[in-house]
Amino acid sequence: MSQKTCFVTVGATASFTALIRAVLEADFLTALQNNGYTELLVQYGEGGKQLFDTHSKTAINAAKDEGNEIKISGFDLDKAGLGRYMRQAKGANLGAGEGVVISHAGSGTILDALRISVPLIVVPNADLLDNHQVELAEVLAEQDYVVYGKLESLDKALGEAEVWRKKQRQWPPTNSGVHRHANGLKGVMDEEMGFLD
Amino acid sequence: MGIVTSILTIIPLILLPAIAYRVLIITDPKRNKPLRHGRQNAQEPTHLLIVLGSGGHTAEMMSMLERAVTDPDPKLKLNWKDYTHRTWVVSSGDSISAQRAKEFEEMATPLSTQDHLMAGKVKKATDIGPGKYEIVTVPRAREIHQSLWTSPVSSLQCTLECWKVLTTHTTDTRDGHLPQAGKTDFPDLILCNGPATSTILVFTSILLRFLNHRGCSERHKMRTIYVESWARVKQPSLSGKLLCRVVDRFLVQWPQLEKAVGGRAEYLGMLV
């Protein structure tokens, strides 16, 4: 079977233990197997190691009993960025198929994933006081850029990602309508500088 | 009423409207822009200042700039050498943002030379050097999750450092405040996107213009562009709320936010 990676990232600034727990649940691991995934890679953030280690051990054992041979691994943070892991999920390795990224709703991570156009499931962190991350995830899901994932039904989101893979929209979006002629950041900078050409 | 009390009442009555009037004038986006004679004119150096935050702010700023300097459409493509001096402001301890700035500089300047060569402008490509850039650090205005106004001491320290950063290439000894040809001066343009430091830096630039410190206001320096975070869909951020009436350009990345903010907010498509 060709390699197919599900990469999960919780980000660097806030902890998101609920997401780590959710992707190590039996239902989710079964869903991974049903969708042909061979590898689950988790960026669990600072302080997430203990939780990840204990939960992944039980998860691996439980999966083996069910005949699920999925490889589960994790790391806390990578200063060099997540590009490498996102490309692995994209299927950049020889003979690998395209997988999926499951991410917290941080704008930087979402942008990284959109730029290499890997299917993305965004899971907003309900523990954060400010809910603007939910708004971003909603509007992006509405416009078919990402799949909106809920913690309690991640297995369903995984199935949606398979369908969504085929209708994925290109990034960055081309300007349309009244903004077709807008000159972007350069235009604004030129106007403010007083460059007249 | 004694004479002292009446003087004490009259002075604020005269001063306050005067101050308000001055603030309105210097924060009017329609105020005069400097007269320039073409881009990349060695006699007219240009100075761009970019504020990086941490995490998402830096990611968005770098994404926006990378998109602009690599845009396939020549009309939208930012030529990095249009700015002869670039100042990157990062918060102390944020080595990742400093690293990203350095990487961007190493990518963007050769790109600009390449553009000139492709367009057959050999003289431009060879004569105009890469310009200069510097990465300066200022102390954090506040720690993550600390509110802006509960940290007066660190905010004040940050303001002082911002003052230093903004005035670092200026001197007191200019005749009649005229800029010296070919020398770097105050930033012409400040580009920022929302970390607390950027709010303080923009307000410091307004204070400098209010005082016309070293002639910065009459020489039309420090125009400001604020780009609201792409993550803000319906409501502006705290920095956005504080800055939306005082920056020259307030760019938002979702149409619904343009309406919510009103005033100076403009939606020109997604920029990240």
Calculate the CA B257 to chain-centre distance: 22
pLDDT the model gives residue A67 = 81
Evaluate if residue A189 carries a pLDDT over 90.
yes
B240 inside domain: yes
- Phi, psi angles (nearest 5°) of residue A41: -120, 125
Classify residue B131: in a domain, yes or no: yes
- Delineate the domains of chain A, giving CATH numbers in brackets: 5-172 (3.40.50.2000)
Task: Compute CA A28 distance to the chain's CA centroid, rounded to the nearest angstrom.
Answer: 15
Mean pLDDT of chain B, nearest integer: 89
CB contact under 8 Å between A194 and B271, yes or no, is: no
| Yes or no, beta carbons of A107 and B254 under 8 Å apart | no
Task: Kindly indicate the confidence band of residue B61, based on its pLDDT and cuts at 50, 70 and 90.
Answer: very high
**Taking 70 as the threshold, does the pLDDT of residue B145 lie above it?**
no
Structural domain includes residue B13: no
Q: In the sheet that A120-122 helps form, which strands lie side by side, from edge to edge? A: A71-75, A39-43, A5-9, A100-103, A120-122, A147-148
Which has the higher per-residue pLDDT, B194 or B51? B51
Q: How confident is the model at residue A14 (pLDDT cuts 50, 70, 90)?
A: confident
CA distance B191 to chain A (A): 9
Contact residues on chain A for B48, CB-CB shorter than 8 A: 189
pLDDT of residue A73 exceeding 90:
yes
Does any domain span residue B29?
Answer: no
Is B32 among the domain residues?
Answer: no
Contact A189 B191 (CB under 8 A): yes
Confidence tier at B124 by pLDDT (50, 70, 90) = confident
pLDDT band at A43 (very low <50, low <70, confident <90, very high): very high
Q: Please tell me the predicted confidence (pLDDT) of residue B155.
A: 85
Asked if pLDDT for residue A185 goes beyond 70, the answer is: yes
- pLDDT above 60 for A180: no
* pLDDT tens by residue, B230-246: 999 999 999 999 999 99
- Gap between the Cα atoms of A90 and A28, Å rounded: 20
Structure tokens at B108: 């963007």
Which residue, A109, A104, A87, is CA-closest to A3?
Answer: A87
Query: Is residue B226's pLDDT more than 70?
Result: yes
Helical residues (DSSP H) of chain B, grouped into ranges: 3-26, 56-69, 95-118, 122-127, 152-167, 196-210, 238-243, 255-261
- CB contact at 8 A, A5 and A89: yes
Q: Is the pLDDT of residue B183 over 90?
A: no
Provide the domain limits for residue B139: 46-267
Residue A12 pLDDT > 80:
no
In a domain, B40, yes or no: no
Residue B64 has pLDDT above 70, yes or no: yes
Task: Give the residue-averaged pLDDT of A3-15.
Answer: 88
B76 touches chain A (CB under 8 A): yes
Higher pLDDT, A83 or B123: A83
pLDDT over 90 at A13, yes or no:
no
Nearest to A139 among B237, B254, B272 (CB): B254
Among B residues 97-136, those touching chain A with beta carbons less than 8 Å apart: none
Q: State the complex-level ipTM.
A: 0.91
Asked if B191 reaches chain A (Cβ–Cβ under 8 Å), the answer is: yes
Quick one: tokens of B135?
A: 């990465």
Share of chain A above pLDDT 70, in %: 94
Mean pLDDT of B16-24: 94
Q: What percent of chain B has pLDDT over 70?
A: 93
How many folded domains does chain B comprise?
1
Q: What is the mean pLDDT of residues A139-151?
A: 91
Instruction: Kindly state the DSSP code that residue A144 receives in the 8-state scheme.
Output: T
Cα angle: B235, vertex B236, B240; to 5 degrees: 170
The alpha-carbon gap from A151 to the nearest alpha carbon of chain B, in Å, equals 21
Please report, for the domain that includes residue B235, its CATH number.
3.40.50.2000
Contact call for residues B116 and B124 (beta carbons, < 8 A): yes
Higher pLDDT, B72 or B127: B72
- Identify the band that residue B141 occupies on the pLDDT scale cut at 50, 70 and 90: confident
pLDDT at residue A78 above 90?
A: no
Q: Residue B33 has which token pair?
A: 């822009």
Confidence of residue A156 (pLDDT cuts 50, 70, 90): very high
pLDDT exceeds cutoff 60 at B118: yes
